[in-house]
Structures are given as C-alpha cells and as structure tokens.
Amino acid sequence: MQEIWRSVELPAPLETDALVQQNLSTRTELEAWVEAQKTRILEEKRTDQLQSQEHARATDEAQRKREMLQIEHQKLITDTHTKERELNASQMEIEVLQAEKSRREPVVKQLFDKTVEEDVKLKQLLTESQKQRTTQKQQLQELKQGLSMYQKLGLFFEHSKVDNCNEDVASLNNLVTMLNETGDLALFIRSMRRMFKQLV
C-alpha cells in the first residue's frame, strides 16, 4: 500500500512580539499598581502611627489634667474645711461680741446721758461765768470812772496795806494786791474770812 503524501499546510507562525509587548505592558502596570498599593499602605500606616501618637498625647494630656483636677479638688476641699473652721470661729466671736455689746449698752447709754447732763451744766457754768465776767468788767469800769472823777476833784485813794495779821495767811500779799487793783473791799473781806476758816 503506498502512502500518499500530501502537503500539509503549517499553521501561521505565532505573533510573539505582540504577546511580549502586552506581557511587558501588563507587568509594568502591575508593578505600578503594586507600588501604588505599597505607597497607599505606607501612607495609611504612617497616618495610623500619627493618629496613635496623637491619641497617646491626648490620653497623656487628659491624664495630666485629670490629676491636676484631682489635686485642685483636694485643695478645694481642704480650703473649704479651713474656711468653715474660720467661719465657725468668727461666728463664735460675733456671738461673744454681741453678748458683750448687750452688757455694755446700758452702761454706754448711762455714760452718754451723764455726758449730755454734764455738757448742759458746763454750758450753764460758762454762761454764768461769762455773766460774772461781764458784771466784773462793768463794776471795774464804774470804779475806774469813779476813781477818775475823784481824781478830777483832787481826791486820791491811798493803797491799802496790812501790817500785822494774827493768823499767818499764805496768800495775804496776793489778796492785798488784788484789793489795790480792783478796790473791791467786800471781795477782800470774803476771801480773808474763807482763808481764816481754812486755818481753823
């Protein structure tokens, strides 16, 4: 049996260049995508780290503020207790002062009334003293006028003097001088009588 050889057409050669180019393009895109994913993951990781650090700082700050608030709260409690003790002491002192005031008010009122009464008496004494002074000035003026009239008539009064006194009166010279200055014999007699009574 004879084999019949027939020419068989070979398939067309494969276009490998296009496949290689497509493979290279795909590989490049894949590498770019991988790099992009790496970059994104690194960015997210860095962001997470920053957020973690910020959270840690915020936590530390909150803890520090909490401790400070606790210290301030404790100090406030201590200050409150101190103020309460001071307030209680002040209240007791006020009560003592009020009791003392209640005891002293009648005495103060009595002293005030007495002061008013003494002021009235003092004013009366001043008024009487002023009247007496005015009267004495008038009498002295009248005596001076009378003395002047007597001198115009050629009459002169001699100065009085005391040569002897049975009782030693210490202010005798002063009384005589006053008699010579004022001419008030009645005053001289009253003064001598008073001095004698003191000596007896």
Q: Identify the residue whose tokens are 């690194």.
A: 42
Q: How many residues does the chain have?
A: 200
Q: Which of 116, 118, 115 is nearest to 126 (CA)?
A: 118
The number of folded domains in the chain is 1
Q: What is the mean pLDDT of residues 177-199?
A: 79
pLDDT attached to residue 9: 58
Cα 83-88-93 angle, rounded to 5 deg: 120
For 152-161, the pLDDT digits (tens) are: 655 455 555 5
Does residue 31 lie in a domain region?
A: no
Q: How many C-beta atoms surround the C-beta of residue 136 within 10 A?
A: 13
Q: How far apart are CA 26 and CA 43, in angstroms?
A: 25
pLDDT attached to residue 184: 75
> 182 pLDDT exceeds 90?
no
Q: What backbone phi and psi angles, to 5 degrees, belong to 32?
A: -65, -40
Does residue 182 lie in a domain region?
A: yes
Name the average pLDDT for the chain: 81
Quote the tokens at residue 64. Answer: 């520090």
Q: For residue 179, what are the domain limits?
A: 170-199
Q: What is residue 184's three-state secondary structure?
A: coil
For 53-106, the pLDDT digits (tens) are: 999 999 999 999 999 999 999 999 999 999 999 999 999 999 999 888 888 888
Quote the tokens at residue 143. Answer: 């005596």
Does residue 181 lie in a domain region?
A: yes
pLDDT attached to residue 123: 92
Does residue 12 lie in a domain region?
A: no
Does residue 185 lie in a domain region?
A: yes
pLDDT attached to residue 15: 65
pLDDT attached to residue 153: 58
Does residue 48 lie in a domain region?
A: no
Does residue 184 lie in a domain region?
A: yes
Contact criterion met (CB below 8 Å) for 125 and 117: no
> 147 pLDDT exceeds 60?
yes
Contact criterion met (CB below 8 Å) for 183 and 147: yes
Q: How far apart are CA 169 and CA 195, in angstroms?
A: 7
Does residue 111 lie in a domain region?
A: no
Q: Model's pTM, two decimal places?
A: 0.32
